[in-house]
Structure 1
Amino acid sequence: MPANEFDVIIVGAGPGGYVGAIRAAQLGLSTALVEAKHLGGVCLNWGCIPTKALLRSAEVYRNMQHAEQYGLKAGSLDFDLQQIVSRSRGIAKQLSSGVAHLLKKNNVTVFHGSGKLLGGNKLSISGNDVDQVLQGNHIVIATGARPRIFPGLEPDGKLVWTSKEALIPKELPESLLVIGSGAIGIEFASFYNSFGSDVTVVEVMDQIMPVEDREIAEFAQKSMEKQGIKFHIGSKVVELQRGDNRVTATIEKDGQRQSIEIDRVITAVGVTPNTEEIGLDVAGVKLDEQGFIRIDTDCKTSAPGIYAIGDVAGTPCLAHKASHEGIHCMEQIAGLSDGHALDKTRIPGCTYCHPQVASIGLTEAQAKADGYQVKVGRFPFLGNGKAIALGEAEGLVKTVFDGRTGELLGAHLVGAEVTELIQGFSIAKSLETTEKELMETVFPHPTLSEMMHEAVLDAYERTIHY
């Protein structure tokens, strides 16, 4: 095969693209990966990973502030913001280098440049001193998404930030407005609040973290309010007046307006798919009503031989969803897939605020709206020995079952380490586990996971420890 011809060409090296490329190479397909910026994409370089590094620093700092509760004594407590940021950037760089090593190890050919569809399964690459045309039997679009921008709220990099600027602050703002309370907004609110910023969050919907179960979201909000974060729910920011080093924000609710003055603003109001200037129209690739690339259950677009995965192909915009689609897509191309399409009700979501929030499947409200005869179980962290021993007794585990069949419809958690616990419910849903099997599962003691068991038992009025 000529050097510019491949079985598979993937455009975008984020968690969908690079994982898909590795899987394609494992399956014996000659594979090219085209990336204009960073290996690992936004997630690894400017999203998932560096934010978790920042939030880990915040967690350690919070714990140090409560050392005496654990019988420990420490001297004066302080922090170095630039060292915190430097650690975060170093971790991102380390992992990006790791992706480069994995791609080389698996014989994936990497092209650094911007890809554009030319039709006829051809792709041009330009930029970074590269100018050539590749041809592939299959082309996969994995170009991801970028922060959504609303008129009047445009970021300027100084006073009004996107998540990128929020990751690398030169100094800690005394006051901060976060527009949007999804995972990105709430995580930054939690980080800056932990280090002393006066944080206000504005959410246009009627609850924070709108995709989460209402009971869990309200629990998280009350906990964060105790920490000093202020919330404006069912509200929107209608104007930002920028001064030399301050911003005046006008917030509207039910027709009433009020103004607050803050040092910095973070816009975190969702994402927009990166579909521009990549030749979708030339290739005949169609978009859906929200502007994402329209795909079928096997990631095929409307154009023969062209696929799409990850954020550019629709919600939920999560790294693990993108990676799963990348693998599924390559196995389809190689003819090895068992035909099981991605079930979005089996995709867990995690928010690494304080307290953490994690969920999978239907919320209680969604299950009722879908006509299920719902059984709901709850178990508080306060009833768990390990949570109390950790000093983390604030939290809740909630399960939602179909009362007729015993199917686990959803699980929703708030509290310490729930982003690690949720995988247990993910496995249960993948195995189509019923309440009976979960009840008969032996959970180790003393662990936080025992609360998962108890929340199942509670749905059937059999809880033991509360």
Structure 2
Amino acid sequence: MSNLIEICVPDIGDFIDVPVVEVLVKAGDRVESDQSLVTLESDKAVMEIPSPVAGTVQSVDVAEGDFVSEGWLVAKVEADEDIAETSAPADSDSGAKPAATKAVEAPEPSQQSAATEEPGAATETAPPEPAVEYDCDVLVLGAGPGGYTAAFRAADLGLKVVLVERYAALGGVCLNVGCIPSKALLHAAVVIDEAAAMADHGVVFGEPEIELDKLRGWKEKVIGQLTGGLAAMSKQRKVTVIQGTGAFSDPHEMTIETTDGEQQISFSKAIIAAGSQAFKLPGLPWDDPRVMDSTDALELNDIPERLLVIGGGIIGLEMASVYQGLGSEVTVVELTGQLMPGTDKDLVRPLQKRITSRYAGIFVNTSVTAVQAEDDGLHVTFEGSKVPGNTVFDRVLVSTGRTPNGNLIGAEAAGVEVTERGFIPVDMQMRTNVPHIFAIGDLVGQPMLAHKATHEGKVAAEVCAGMKSAFDARVIPSVAYTDPEVAGVGVTELEAKEQGLEYGKGVFPWAASGRALGLG
């Protein structure tokens, strides 16, 4: 009986004609089980195809520069005699694995100390508890940047992972209706603005013609590229993805509502990454499509002639930049005394100076008390020392913050503590008050940033695998992609003053920067 194993390109998602960028073995080489043979690289992911058995390479059937798809023969390996009879066919269970993900080996869940999971639950003299069979080692609820990072990291560390996501595409708010589409549209707005500004320097372009269908299509293409890459990466790591809405039914089980009905999944550990949603300001006619939250605004259904933005935080000002760049007359109202509350005023000042001359009006210490939907527009009532003269708008964008989803996941059934506002308290290892349940991202507290959630997800996954890992939240960077951009990292000057910290301050004038002057 021949021990020759044919190794083919496994299911790698929707990819076809993926280039081979590196061949790692040659005929005659000795390989071990799970040793990488070749590296593939698409525009979305880098993948390595491993040998499912230990043995000797008889032939390598691809070369660098070849383009391959699912089912393509990669190599033939003569399996060792002692494992040949039990080896699975090469194309049955061998999968592409992510490049450069070999980490320190984590102990199997059954080998982890009981004290790690439940302090005081076991001693050296106590008899071992019977093993409990769970459907997965780690269940991750929510597939935003924090959730998919946690799922992928846990899988890389050898854990069996289930990832639950309510939407068809992975990526959460950030990739689908937040960071990514907003940055694409912000880029379009900046290009329009820069083209117009070049007229003062001798380069004159014609008036831009905005084709909304094409602009929306470009935005959706960007989203599709990224979410498609995530789907492929989950397949490579053998992460089980379930589309549905999850809620805890007990401390070790989650009930998932899918289109096919309910499904129960038991888990050894869980990571809650359920995110947040736009805060719906009460008293507004939300049934009128002209009243938008940030998700609605990114749909870009039209370019309103008159747009009111309620809320002068980062999201509100970014969306104001988009619509002003596309041609809307924008008015911004902010309840507090400055734009971007909590940011040092001297950082906000250059932005406020620039947009004051471009927007119809910016009003701080101003609130909206009523919005009446009429045929000729949305009639808005304001309250404040200074209010807009115009009170009729074609659309109103409400950007007054986000609400965590901690109260929507059945946390009480698992015994997980949730605050009245929906936040879940955690320690530096991202553990909740229930030792085997972790929480990350928007619902563990401010700032609500994708890159913060990503790092928290990595920490939680590593702790689940028995590694020593912790999150230090003192130096989180933050950027508002306005024009000009406003960025910071760590403690602000305002926070340093409030905490009585000693600090030094350096200021360099923007007008003294050669690069800045060259940009106009």
Q: What's the TM-score bracket when you normalise by the shorter of the two chains?
A: 0.7 to 0.9
Residue 501 of structure 2 corresponds to which residue in structure 1? Answer: 372
1:272 aligns with 2:410: no
Describe the superposition over 1:425-465 as per-residue Cα deviations: whole angstroms up to 9, x where unpaired: xxxxxxxxxxxxxxxxxxxxxxxxxxxxxxxxxxxxxxxxx
Residue 386 of structure 1 corresponds to which residue in structure 2? Answer: 515
Q: 1:173 aligns with which of 304, 307, 312?
A: 304
1:226 aligns with 2:357: yes
Moved more, 13-22 or 162-171: 162-171
The answer on whether the counterparts of 2:248 and 2:414 sit within 8 Å (CA) in structure 1 is yes
Q: What secondary structure sits across from 2:508 in the alignment?
A: strand
The residue identity in structure 1 corresponding to 2:410 is: G
Distance 1:259-1:381 versus aligned 2 partners, 3 A rule:
closer
The answer on whether the counterparts of 1:207 and 1:218 sit within 8 Å (CA) in structure 2 is no
The residue identity in structure 1 corresponding to 2:160 is: S
Distance 1:62 1:36 in 2: 38
Distance 2:196 2:438 in 1: 50
Residue 447 of structure 2 corresponds to which residue in structure 1? Answer: 316
Distance 1:139-1:198 versus aligned 2 partners, 3 A rule:
same
The answer on whether the counterparts of 2:430 and 2:460 sit within 8 Å (CA) in structure 1 is yes
TM-score (norm 1): 0.79
Residue 116 (structure 1) shift? 1.3
Q: How big is the alpha-carbon RMSD for the aligned residues of Structure 1 and Structure 2?
A: 2.1
The residue identity in structure 2 corresponding to 1:53 is: A
Residue 325 of structure 1 corresponds to which residue in structure 2? Answer: 456
1:131 aligns with 2:262: yes
Q: 1:211 aligns with which of 318, 335, 342?
A: 342
The answer on whether the counterparts of 1:33 and 1:111 sit within 8 Å (CA) in structure 2 is yes
Q: What secondary structure sits across from 1:337 in the alignment?
A: coil
Moved more, 83-92 or 109-118: 83-92
1:35 aligns with 2:140: no
Describe the superposition over 1:267-293 as per-residue Cα deviations: whole angstroms up to 9, x where unpaired: 100011113442111111111353211
Distance 1:36 1:146 in 2: 13
The residue identity in structure 1 corresponding to 2:395 is: R
Q: After the TM superposition, which segments of 4 or more aligned residues of structure 1 sit over 4 Å from their partners?
A: 1-4, 254-259
Residue 251 of structure 1 corresponds to which residue in structure 2? Answer: 382
Residue 11 (structure 1) shift? 0.5
Distance 1:244 1:149 in 2: 23
TM-score (norm 2): 0.71
Q: 1:356 aligns with which of 485, 491, 507?
A: 485
Residue 69 (structure 1) shift? 4.3
Distance 1:154-1:27 versus aligned 2 partners, 3 A rule:
farther
Describe the superposition over 1:398-450 as per-residue Cα deviations: whole angstroms up to 9, x where unpaired: xxxxxxxxxxxxxxxxxxxxxxxxxxxxxxxxxxxxxxxxxxxxxxxxxxxxx
Distance 2:133 2:307 in 1: 52
The residue identity in structure 2 corresponding to 1:134 is: I
Residue 74 (structure 1) shift? 3.4
The answer on whether the counterparts of 1:153 and 1:240 sit within 8 Å (CA) in structure 2 is yes
The answer on whether the counterparts of 2:281 and 2:398 sit within 8 Å (CA) in structure 1 is no
The residue identity in structure 1 corresponding to 2:280 is: I
Residue 154 of structure 2 corresponds to which residue in structure 1? Answer: 24
The answer on whether the counterparts of 1:346 and 1:360 sit within 8 Å (CA) in structure 2 is yes
Residue 3 (structure 1) shift? 10
Distance 2:285 2:279 in 1: 9
Moved more, 214-223 or 255-264: 255-264
Distance 1:4 1:91 in 2: 38
The residue identity in structure 2 corresponding to 1:352 is: Y
- Which protein is richer in helix relative to its size? 1
Distance 1:66-1:36 versus aligned 2 partners, 3 A rule:
same
Distance 1:60 1:74 in 2: 12
Q: What secondary structure sits across from 1:376 in the alignment?
A: coil
Residue 400 of structure 1 corresponds to which residue in structure 2? Answer: none
Residue 157 (structure 1) shift? 5.4
The residue identity in structure 1 corresponding to 2:440 is: I
Q: 1:101 aligns with which of 207, 215, 232?
A: 232
The answer on whether the counterparts of 1:348 and 1:359 sit within 8 Å (CA) in structure 2 is yes
Distance 1:292 1:316 in 2: 12
Residue 106 (structure 1) shift? 1.5
Residue 154 (structure 1) shift? 5.0
- Give structure 1 stretches of 5+ with no counterpart: 392-466
Distance 1:64-1:219 versus aligned 2 partners, 3 A rule:
closer
The answer on whether the counterparts of 2:407 and 2:422 sit within 8 Å (CA) in structure 1 is no
Residue 324 of structure 2 corresponds to which residue in structure 1? Answer: 193
Q: What secondary structure sits across from 2:391 in the alignment?
A: strand
Residue 369 (structure 1) shift? 2.2
The answer on whether the counterparts of 1:155 and 1:162 sit within 8 Å (CA) in structure 2 is no
The answer on whether the counterparts of 2:134 and 2:268 sit within 8 Å (CA) in structure 1 is no
The answer on whether the counterparts of 1:159 and 1:245 sit within 8 Å (CA) in structure 2 is no
1:48 aligns with 2:179: yes
